[in-house]
Amino acid sequence: MQFKYMVAASLVAFTLSAAAQLPDKPPARPRITGISHIAVYTSNPVATQNFYLESVGAVKQSDPENPKGVRYALSATQFVEVLPLPEGSGINRLDHTAWNTDDAEAMRRYLGSKAWKVPGQVEKGTDGSRWFDIKDPEGNKVEFVQPPPALKPLQAPNAIGRHIIHVGFLVHNRAFEDTFYRDLLGFKPYWFGGMNDTKVDWVSQQSPDSHDWLEYMITSEPGSGIPPNMTQHVLGVLDHFSIGEDSVPAAYKILADGNRLNNGQHDDAPKIGKDGKYQFNMYDPDGIRVEMMNFHATEKPCCSPFTADDPAE
């Protein structure tokens, strides 16, 4: 009998020892709940302020991440971050794009577990938010933000829209970028198209836990980074963000009737894009494109069908 107890005890000890040697379960990816913001540079803070306050109708706030920056907010969780133009920036006016997550530290550990280069810790803003930034495969800076707890709704009565539905930037290699955004982060296809049916210029992919999307603005130039022959205007067309609208023509009328289109360059009038949605483009003083876009298409899109639900207000 004593021998049986000894064998049983040995088996229990072996089982516990073997379990202790099993590798830790890889951390799960936390949710990516939509766009947080786009961060851009300004060479003229006064003109930039006039544009984002008067034309866009955003609310000016201090920047909890950077005391040198300013936020122009459309809602409690979405804004444009404007930073001073660093020396040596050339024609570049985009610092980073950012996505909201429900756990920044868990996201940092998840990416680190996938052998992605991550910082040693998350940062903490003066508002209680937490964030960190990394580089995507082509070297674009991407930030993940955990909003502060107990957010209060933002009152932005003059905002021309309250939902940033997508951000876009220059991309050279769609497949290379997909290894990060699709394979690692779980972004899902939404739509793709081009100036004609034979070439893909734009690839839209929604974040895994929202209907907000990232748009690859694909250039035919080989390599990486900003092509040496690209102008600041063309780069600003590619590096952009979009504000969702129930009706772009109605939003345009508000801007035109209120004399709010005198702060920069803009399209002559709304038009229907290749995706079948009404849109209207404005440009901030440094050329970053601000696109108003209908939530839903009014015509059949070219090139491909939509493969996921549209965003909404």
Tens digits of residue pLDDT in 130-159 = 999 999 999 999 999 999 998 889 999 999
Residue 237 phi, psi (nearest 5): -65, -40
Provide the whole-model pTM: 0.91
**Domain ranges within the chain, ordered by starting residue:** 32-294
Tens digits of residue pLDDT in 272-308 = 999 999 999 999 999 999 999 999 999 999 999 999 9
Q: What does DSSP say about strands 70-73 and 79-84: parallel, antiparallel, or unpaired?
A: antiparallel
In terms of CATH, what superfamily is 32-294?
Answer: 2,3-Dihydroxybiphenyl 1,2-Dioxygenase, domain 1 (3.10.180.10)
pLDDT at 10: 44
Task: State the DSSP string of 34-49.
Answer: EEEEEEEEES-HHHHH
- Report d(CA 32, CA 43) in Å as an integer: 32
- Report d(CA 49, CA 285) in Å as an integer: 9
Whether the pLDDT of residue 37 is over 50: the answer is: yes
pLDDT at 3: 39
Write out the H or E segment, with its range, that includes residue 146.
strand 141-146
